[in-house]
Chains A and B, each alone.
Chain A
Amino acid sequence: MNKLRTGAFHTGMILLSLLWLGPVLWVVVMSTRSFDDIAAHGVGSLPRSFTLDTYRQAWTDGGELRALINSMLVTVPSVALSLGLAAMAAFALSRFRIPGRRTILLLMLAGNLLPPQILLIPVAKFSELTGLYDTLWALIAVQVGFGLGFYTFVLHGFMRDLPGEIQEAATIDGAGTAQIFTRVMLPLTRPALAALGALSFTWIFNDLLWAITVLRTDDNMPVTPALLALQGQFVSSWNVIAAGTVIAAVPTVAVFLRFQRHFVSGLALGAVK
């Protein structure tokens, strides 16, 4: 009976992971097929050709290097800035008796519940008013602004549960507020920061909507709109797009592998009191 259950469990899980990996494998296989093969037999057929030239095409003709640099120029500062600001806000809201702190927190979270689509035109117009339209600054500002509410909420929950005695001990030892924040709170919040960092990196790196809203020059486009630009008006080279997608997935996968440990423990830490 027990053996049967283990067997069923494993078969089930194998099938489930195949379901999960199927599309990824499909993209990888497609990226090695030639255009004529896809044109003659359709995107869904088994591969009848093998080429790695698609990767060269995506890299040079598709301008993916430039796009990846743009993505990093936006993602790294956005993650650092939004997590830094969110940590400060969460510290203040969770450890001090600021009047109306609950309302402030709920207001920040409420902003996240708005569908971003209704804010597209205001954001485009506002970035034009401030003269930031079509610069990477605009994208960084938007990403920081939209991430802040959620990050603060998560970090607030985490910091609130840290024992108050630690803070009191630091105060008795003569530490000021700034010192408590940088030398006591931040190191203790590290698991949560690492988890949020990995998450926000993926979100910002994979964002398409805001990029095409505030940017219009192809040299400024991050990697997601650049992938979209590989599509033609009527006909697309799916093999090149697949190759570009594989390349674009590398940074996020790398970040996840690096922060994997924190990611799992960080999420669990916030959950149990």
Chain B
Amino acid sequence: MGALGASSFLSACASSASGPTTSNGSGAVTIQSNLSSPQAKAAMEKLIETFNAQGKGTASLNTIASETFRTQLPTYLTSANPPDLYTWYAGSVANDYASKNLLLDVSDVWKSLGDYPQSLRTLSTDASGKQIFVPMNNYWWGFFYRKSNFAKWGVQEPKTWTDFLALCETLKSKGIPPIGIGLGDTPWVASAWFDYLNIRINGAPFHRELLAGQQRFDDARVKAVFTRWREALPYFDPKGKAYPFQEATTALLAGKTGMFLIGTFFADAAPKDALGDLDFFRFPIIDPAVPLAEEAPTDGFFASAKTANPTGTRALLSYLSGVEAQEAYVKASSGIVLPANPRAKASDSPLVVKGKAMLNEAKELTQFFNRDSSDALQPTADTALTKFIDKPDQIDAILREWQAGAEKVFKG
């Protein structure tokens, strides 16, 4: 036992001796990645391999469990010797770090991204007007359903809110819970309903102001959102409160619910043979006068302001935002994602074509509740929305509490 301990001790010494000197001067650029699902991880590994083979610099990939990554990201960024590049979300979450001077100015990289849409450029720009984020891809949210089930039930995709409620009524009369949801463990899924109703009724600008603390949650306009939601509430699957969205996916695929408002990532939880049978429709229009907005969470990269190798980091970012890298990533990762580079081809499955067309039609894109506000505000929404689904009568009190909770978050 003693001898074994001593020899392992020595080898521990040998293996960790190279540890602390990972990023000095012009050494390899380290990417801290939260893409830990096997397919996404493999896709990233392949990209880095290609980059290293090109000889413009070297990079090393560091994949961390996404949940660990989320909690440790502030520690990584504020450490004395931080990793160079990080996978993360665009929008106010990135701008938050930028306002603390933790992010590298990547305006240089953006000079070669002239053909990116203005919406992505605005999204990647911080309060002081410099770009701090490079988008990699985005995806969309919608009401997903099985084509074969809709055909069996003899129903069509609805366009307007009235159509939608009529569809729910039809499904309910056939004994199928019309709207699937999964709030156990994943209560944030309910925020999609809030986001969508708000951008359909009050528009995206109001939604952003609300999430930035410039409007109040106990406003009459916010209450109007919940008045609409109440019309659809009787059609929610009552079992949805108990299980997470992954199981809600299973329920949808088994025909135990009619449709499901969810992001495209849910398809990763679907068996391969069901993928071809999936289709979706856009969140129904409520007020045609409100400019059309869609949720399109954008993922990508930002870099640490303290990187020892800014040139190498920018070179890697330029590579990652290029057509070749983005197409390779879309192809290798199983998720249904759209490349950020407008010249990069997305997968040509009918689902992706439809999703891309829907986003192109939208006048405005929003990210998602937590990405448009902060991870700190998300729990206040989770509490308020789950309470509303349980006790819709108490909406006034719920909104007052939400406002009080939000004020605490905004005060910091």
Q: Whole-angstrom distance between the alpha carbons of A231 and B185 in the complex?
A: 15
Q: Which of A44-74 contact B (CB under 8 A)?
A: 57, 61, 72-74
Which of the segments B48-56, B115-123, B261-269 contacts the partner chain? B261-269
Cβ-based interface call for B214 (8 A): no
Contact A235 B266 (CB under 8 A): yes
Which of the segments B6-14, B190-198, B366-374, B386-394 contacts the partner chain? B6-14
Contact partner of A232 among B1, B11, B38, B263, CB < 8 A?
Answer: B38
Using an 8 Å CB-CB cutoff, how does the interface string of B55-70 with A read, 1 for contact, 0 for none? 0000000111111100
Cβ-based interface call for A133 (8 A): yes
Residues of B within 8 A of A128 (CB): 79-81
Q: Whole-angstrom distance between the alpha carbons of A245 and B67 in the complex?
A: 18
Q: Whole-angstrom distance between the alpha carbons of A217 and B32 in the complex?
A: 8
Contact partner of A218 among B6, B22, B64, B75, CB < 8 A?
Answer: B64
By beta carbon, the residue of chain A nearest B264 is A234
Known: A212-B68, A216-B76, A216-B83. A77 touches B12 (CB 8 A): yes
Contact A73 B11 (CB under 8 A): yes
Using an 8 Å CB-CB cutoff, how does the interface string of B258-276 with A read, 1 for contact, 0 for none? 0000010110111111100
Which of the segments A9-17, A35-43, A155-163 contacts the partner chain? A35-43
Q: Which of B9-48 contact A (CB under 8 A)?
A: 9, 11-13, 15-16, 19-20, 22, 32, 34-38, 40, 42
Contact partner of B40 among A57, A216, A232, A237, CB < 8 A?
Answer: A232
How far in angstroms is the closest Cβ of chain A from B193?
18
Residues of A within 8 A of B311 (CB): none
Cβ-based interface call for B156 (8 A): no
Residues of A within 8 A of B15 (CB): 73, 136
Cβ-based interface call for B246 (8 A): yes
Known: A216-B64, A218-B63. A135 touches B19 (CB 8 A): yes
Residues of B within 8 A of A93 (CB): none
Residues of A within 8 A of B75 (CB): 121, 124
Cβ-based interface call for A106 (8 A): no
Contact B36 A76 (CB under 8 A): no
Residues of B within 8 A of A39 (CB): 249-250, 253, 269-271
Cβ-based interface call for B412 (8 A): no
Known: A36-B272, A216-B64, A228-B67. A234 touches B16 (CB 8 A): no
Cβ-based interface call for A220 (8 A): yes
Q: Which range holds the interface residue count of chain B?
A: 35 or more
Q: Interface of chain B, helix or strand or loop or mixed? A: helix
Q: Whole-angstrom distance between the alpha carbons of A232 and B1 in the complex?
A: 38
Cβ-based interface call for B254 (8 A): yes
Q: Whole-angstrom distance between the alpha carbons of A123 and B321 in the complex?
A: 37
How far in angstroms is the closest Cβ of chain B from A116?
15
Q: Whole-angstrom distance between the alpha carbons of A229 and B64 in the complex?
A: 6
Contact B269 A228 (CB under 8 A): no
Cβ-based interface call for B2 (8 A): yes
By beta carbon, the residue of chain A nearest B274 is A40
Q: Whole-angstrom distance between the alpha carbons of A236 and B265 in the complex?
A: 11
Cβ-based interface call for B382 (8 A): no
Q: Whole-angstrom distance between the alpha carbons of A217 and B270 in the complex?
A: 31
Q: Whole-angstrom distance between the alpha carbons of A80 and B246 in the complex?
A: 44
By beta carbon, the residue of chain A nearest B87 is A233
Contact A228 B65 (CB under 8 A): yes
Residues of B within 8 A of A220 (CB): 16, 19
Using an 8 Å CB-CB cutoff, how does the interface string of A113-143 with B read, 1 for contact, 0 for none? 0000000010010001001111111001000
Contact partner of A140 among B12, B65, B249, CB < 8 A?
Answer: B12
Cβ-based interface call for A87 (8 A): no
Q: Whole-angstrom distance between the alpha carbons of A218 and B31 in the complex?
A: 11
Cβ-based interface call for A230 (8 A): yes
How far in angstroms is the closest Cβ of chain A from B41?
8
Residues of B within 8 A of A231 (CB): 36-37, 65-67
Contact partner of A136 among B16, B80, B246, B273, CB < 8 A?
Answer: B16
Cβ-based interface call for B364 (8 A): no
Cβ-based interface call for B327 (8 A): no
Residues of A within 8 A of B62 (CB): 216-219
Cβ-based interface call for A79 (8 A): yes
Cβ-based interface call for A111 (8 A): no
Q: Whole-angstrom distance between the alpha carbons of A57 and B38 in the complex?
A: 9
Residues of B within 8 A of A73 (CB): 8, 11-12, 15
Cβ-based interface call for B151 (8 A): no
How far in angstroms is the closest Cβ of chain B from A105?
26
Q: Whole-angstrom distance between the alpha carbons of A216 and B35 in the complex?
A: 15
Cβ-based interface call for A270 (8 A): no
Residues of B within 8 A of A197 (CB): 1
Contact B269 A235 (CB under 8 A): yes
Q: Whole-angstrom distance between the alpha carbons of A133 and B80 in the complex?
A: 10
Contact A216 B254 (CB under 8 A): no
Residues of A within 8 A of B6 (CB): 80
Using an 8 Å CB-CB cutoff, how does the interface string of A169-198 with B read, 1 for contact, 0 for none? 000000000000000000000000000010
Q: Whole-angstrom distance between the alpha carbons of A76 and B3 in the complex?
A: 11
Cβ-based interface call for B101 (8 A): no
By beta carbon, the residue of chain B nearest A193 is B1
By beta carbon, the residue of chain B nearest A39 is B271
Q: Whole-angstrom distance between the alpha carbons of A236 and B249 in the complex?
A: 13
How far in angstroms is the closest Cβ of chain B from A216?
6
Residues of B within 8 A of A35 (CB): 271
Residues of B within 8 A of A121 (CB): 75
List residues of chain A with CB under 8 Å of any chain B CB: 35-37, 39-43, 57, 61, 72-74, 76-77, 79-81, 121, 124, 128, 131-137, 140, 197, 212, 216-220, 225, 228-237, 240
5 cross-chain CB contacts under 8 A: A80-B2, A124-B79, A133-B20, A216-B72, A229-B36
- Beyond A80-B6, A233-B34, 6 extra complex contacts between A and B, CB < 8 Å: A39-B253, A137-B12, A197-B1, A216-B72, A228-B67, A232-B38
